[in-house]
Structures are given as structure tokens and as C-alpha cells.
Amino acid sequence: MSRGLIRIGALAGLLAVGGCGGDDSGDNSSAPPQELPRSGYSWSLPPGFPTPQEFAENPLSDAKVELGRHLFYDARLSINQTTSCASCHLPARAFADGRVTAVGATGQVHLRNAMSLTNVVYNATFDWANPVLTTLHQQALTPMFNEFPVELGWADHEAEILDRLRYDPLYQDLFVAAYPDATDHFTADQVAKGVAAFVSTLISGNSAYDQSTLQGNRDAMSEAARRGQELFFSERMECFHCHGGFNFSQSVNHSGTTLPQAEFHNNGLYNIGGAGDYPLGNRGLWEFTQQPADMGRFRAPTLRNIELTAPYMHDGSIATLEEVIDHYARGGRLVREGPLAGDGALNPFKSELMPARFSLTDQEKLDIIAFLKSLTDWNFLCNARFADPFGNFERHSDCY
């Protein structure tokens, strides 16, 4: 933990923690100059989308993305050859897994819900509430080497796993093409950078909402979804304050950002014992800072493809979108009994941006759900460039 504390200190100037969306009026002059690697990678971007950040140590190329796609779907990357990145990030579920919390290769249960990888390249920080994880290849090392819980199980098995790849002619070609200047191939770092390159390309911006609002095809959205859009952006529901902008998440970074914006909010899921506590191990930013005010503060994830990524929240504790709306309408969740009992609406650390209690008619509730479903992007879900080259993981059934 102490390492985390030191690094968060160094990053403090970059973290607009506590602020709300839009342009932070803070002084940008101290922001470090943006390092733009000149990889020449040609992004395939939806209309209206900014050019993604490229991570200086990991310039993209088509060959690296192709290596990464194979690695992402390859179960040989786990200790017992049962699990790949895709096991927890299923293409049919917009790269989430449908479980309450994730399960690693050896059956150990993760404390958190596997995140969707939709538009992950645009996030300012990675994971549910990790303020110091700011590059995708560092992120990839986490599931590879994590021991609490074991996810892929690389710790103490690195050489063995890399040898499985080294003696496969397919990977001999892919690694050399991806890292043409390297003297040594088949390193953990190259694996992490390869999967990170692939994951960077998982860009979704062609939902009915995008077609309607950015591409001039108003009819792509139903009447109900358009009414829901008004509700989403209303002061009654307040959703847009934390899930705003092109990615429906305030916490974005891209090539045009001068100050990466990392925000974490407590949205009133728990209030154990009335003191504001969240369950230990799942206290969000608090796990890094131990500051009371950081209790329960998590990143508001993108809402794109949200229809397909249930269950919801960092611990998968809300099963459906209807229940998510009920949660916000109440201003927080009431856990009536058991060890987690408490009224989240009264959590003293709840974000000021959370809506006060609101009520919705049955029709309005249908409308807001219709809006959230209009963020589903079938071109993304069915895109052959994101598909499993080994054919083990199906895309969504509606793609066929």
C-alpha cells in the first residue's frame, strides 16, 4: 500500500478527484506536455470520436494488434490452460462476463465484477478504482500476475507459459512481426503490450444513439429512447453529471486532453452500520488512500453497451437495469439486513452529484431503459476484427 500512496502523491496534480465533469477550470499550465508517439497507426474511428491516447512505451501497429488478438483469446496464457482474457471478457457480452464477480483459472473468486472493455482506450485510469493504473499494458500485467486472487496465474510460472508460445510456429511469426526491432522475443512485457494493443482497438461508437445524434439519422432511435435521452440529461435524474461526454463516462483521456480527468464517486450502494462503510476490500479509492472521504468512491464506467454487461456495479450487486434505476431513484440502496445492512442513501460520503430521491412514472422508466439500450452497438459486437481467431468464443448470437 505504501507504494500506492507515494505514487498517488506524485499523481495528485493530475487527478481531478472530487470535481465534476466538463472542463475543469483548474490551472492547466502545470500539466506535463503530451507525449505523442508517432507510430502512424491508423485508427478506425466512428464519427465524432477523438483520436485515442497512445501509450508512449507501446506504439501500435497492425501486427501488434493481431498478435494481441491471438493472445487475448488463448487459454495457454493461464497456468492450467483453462482461462484466457476472453474467459472474463466475453465478446458476446461486450467483453464483460455475466458473472457477479470474476473467477480465475484456479477457481478463486475475485472481489470485483469483470469490466466491459468497450472504449477502454479512452479511460484516464483503469479498473474500478485504481488511480495509479494509467496504461493498458500495466493493467494487463495485473490479471497475468495477480495472486490474490489468481487470475491467469503467471507468478512463478512465467517461463513455462512463455515456452508454450515460443515453440508454436504461429506465435514465432506473430511476435517477430509485432516487435521487429527486438533482439529477444517472448517476454511477459511483450505479451502485456500485445494484448493492450488489441484491447485499445475495441472502440464502439455506432449505436442507435450515435447514428441518431452524430450521424444525422434521427430515426435510428425510437421515440421512447429519445424521451429517455431527455430524462438522462435532466437535472431530475442527474445521470449525465457522472456519465457524460462522448463515452458516457467523465473519466476520459485522449490525444486532445491536456489534463487527464480521473473521477471517482460514491453512489450510495452501502452504508454499513451508518458510518458510511463499504465492505473491506471493496472500498474503492479508500483502498489506496485510507482517507475517510474516499470511502466507496469508484469510477463511473461507460454506459455504452450496458444492456449486455449485467450484473452491474463494482461487485455485481445489482442484477438488472431496472434495479439500477430504482437504486438511483431512491438516492442510494437500502440493505435491510445481514452484515452489510445500512441505508446507502444516507451514506455521509455519497457524492453531491447524486440525485435527490426522484420518482418516475412506469412509462418514464421504460423510456430511460430504452435510452440505455440505444447505446448498444451491433457493429461493435459483430466486428470480425475483434473476433476469436481460434473460434472458441462466439460473438453475440444476433451476429449470425
Write the binding mask 99 to 138 for ligand HEC: x where contact by CB under 6 A, - elsewhere. Answer: ---xxx-----x-x-xx-x--x--x--xxx-------x--
Task: From residue 323, give the alpha-carbon distance in Å to each of 49, 147, 343, 382.
Answer: 31, 33, 16, 28
Query: Among 207, 267, 374, 376, which residue interacts with ligand HEC (rule: CB under 6 A)?
Result: 267
| Torsions phi, psi for 96 (to 5 deg) | -110, -175
Nearer to ligand HEC, 52 or 143 (CB): 143
Nearer to ligand HEC, 123 or 206 (CB): 123
For residue 342, list its beta bridge partners. 335
Shortest spacing between CB 29 and ligand HEC, in angstroms: 28
Shortest spacing between CB 6 and ligand HEC, in angstroms: 20
Asked if residue 300 binds ligand HEC (CB under 6 A), the reply is yes
Number of residues counted as binding ligand HEC (CB under 6 A)? 50
Interface positions, 231-260, toward ligand HEC (CB under 6 A): 237-239, 241-243
Judged by phi (left if over 0) then psi (alpha if -120 to 50, else beta), residue 301 lies in beta
Distance in angstroms (rounded) separating the CA atoms of residues 72 and 396: 18
Closest CA to 259 of 5, 9, 13, 7: 13
DSSP designation for 393 = S
Query: Among 175, 328, 349, 386, which residue interacts with ligand HEC (rule: CB under 6 A)?
Result: 328
Distance in angstroms (rounded) separating the CA atoms of residues 177 and 159: 21
Query: Among 17, 67, 174, 324, which residue interacts with ligand HEC (rule: CB under 6 A)?
Result: 324
β-strand pairing of 334-335 with 342-343 = antiparallel
Write the binding mask 52 to 91 for ligand HEC: x where contact by CB under 6 A, - elsewhere. Answer: -------------------------------x-x-xxx--
DSSP designation for 91 = G
Write the binding mask 143 to 162 for ligand HEC: x where contact by CB under 6 A, - elsewhere. Answer: xx------xx----------
